[in-house]
């Protein structure tokens, strides 16, 4: 049994390149993934098995057979409803429901998006494990990317670190915002004496959030937010730091009177698909509880 198989034709610019350099520098296969291929997969040039020291020529066909995906101990598939917006052999784009963690935790060991995806893989005979490219908090709804194999995860994660995975959120925040748009550039770190809570602090990691008012309600504001970085609880911490905590976010000063979870939704997702070599765009409307909140207010 093997994992995914990928093939490429060597171009003129890579003529006389070593296979090792071609895979590492041109195809951006990580050192760890390439080691796994050497140990448990296969490398071929023109259907002949070779080592990473093989010399390539223009027109050669390079084949990489990745080893099977290995699941972590205790990671089991569970039948959890999934809203799959897009799927190909490399990724899933999922509209995550609220009140569902992305990965298992000590509080939710068997009910997470990861468990649901593994069940989906098992039912559809997809030999893969769970690779989240981006994560959403348990109570945040909306779009996220799941890679089907470690190579796709490496490529998409690299894009995300370079800011090329564009994520747009919708939130309902307390109070009427005076500024129509702006940027919050404030470092975020873990709050002392807390495992979960974060705060703006000088010694934190760089965090940048762009906001724009979409709609004014009676005493609240609907805001569009675009992240330039991806820190834990970034939107929640940043909005609370300027006096506009999210409705339902009692961890950071929001009220749960009108909604029982933070009113935050991953609304739009835009990225370049490295395997298809084209830009993809997705958007999903907020779930019923957020729509009802906005309409009632």
CA distance 11 to 283: 36
5: tokens are 């198989």
30 C-beta neighbours (distance < 10 Å), count: 17
49: tokens are 């098995």
CA distance 283 to 286: 10
| Sign of the CA dihedral running 166, 169, 174, 176 | positive
Q: Which residue among 137, 139, 154, 249 is the active-site one? A: 137
Cβ atoms of residues 209 and 228 within 8 Å: yes
- Identify the residue whose tokens are 């309600």: 217
The yes-or-no answer on residue 137 being catalytic is: yes
CA distance 77 to 119: 4
- Identify the residue whose tokens are 């550039």: 185
Cβ atoms of residues 145 and 159 within 8 Å: no
- Identify the residue whose tokens are 């937010």: 225
Catalytic annotation, residues: 137
């Amino acid at each position: 049994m093997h994992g995914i198989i990928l093939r490429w034709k060597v171009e003129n610019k890579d003529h006389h390149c070593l296979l090792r350099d071609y895979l590492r520098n041109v195809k951006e296969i990580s050192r760890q993934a390439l080691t796994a291929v050497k140990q448990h997969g296969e490398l071929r040039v023109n259907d002949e098995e070779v080592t990473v020291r093989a010399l390539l020529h223009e027109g050669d066909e390079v084949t990489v057979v990745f080893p099977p995906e290995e699941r972590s101990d205790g990671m089991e598939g569970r039948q959890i409803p999934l809203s799959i917006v897009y799927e190909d052999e490399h990724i899933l784009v999922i509209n995550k429901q609220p009140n569902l963690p992305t990965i298992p935790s000590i509080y939710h060991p068997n009910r997470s998006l990861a468990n649901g995806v593994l069940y989906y893989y098992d039912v559809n005979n997809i030999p893969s494990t769970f690779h989240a490219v981006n994560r959403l908090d348990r109570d945040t709804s909306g779009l996220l990317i799941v890679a089907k194999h470690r190579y796709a995860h490496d490529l998409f994660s690299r894009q995300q670190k370079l800011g090329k995975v564009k994520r747009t959120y919708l939130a309902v925040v307390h109070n009427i915002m005076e500024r129509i748009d702006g940027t919050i550039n404030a470092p975020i770190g873990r709050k002392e004496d807390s495992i979960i809570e974060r705060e703006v602090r000088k010694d934190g990691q760089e965090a940048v959030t762009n906001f724009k008012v979409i709609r004014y309600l009676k005493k609240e504001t609907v805001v569009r937010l675009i992240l330039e970085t991806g820190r834990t609880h970034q939107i929640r911490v940043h909005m609370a730091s300027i006096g506009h905590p999210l409705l339902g976010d009692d961890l950071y000063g929001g009220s749960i009177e009108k909604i029982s979870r933070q009113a935050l939704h991953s609304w739009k997702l835009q990225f370049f698909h490295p395997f298809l070599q084209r830009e993809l765009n997705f958007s999903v409307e907020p779930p019923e509880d957020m729509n009802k909140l906005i309409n009632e207010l």
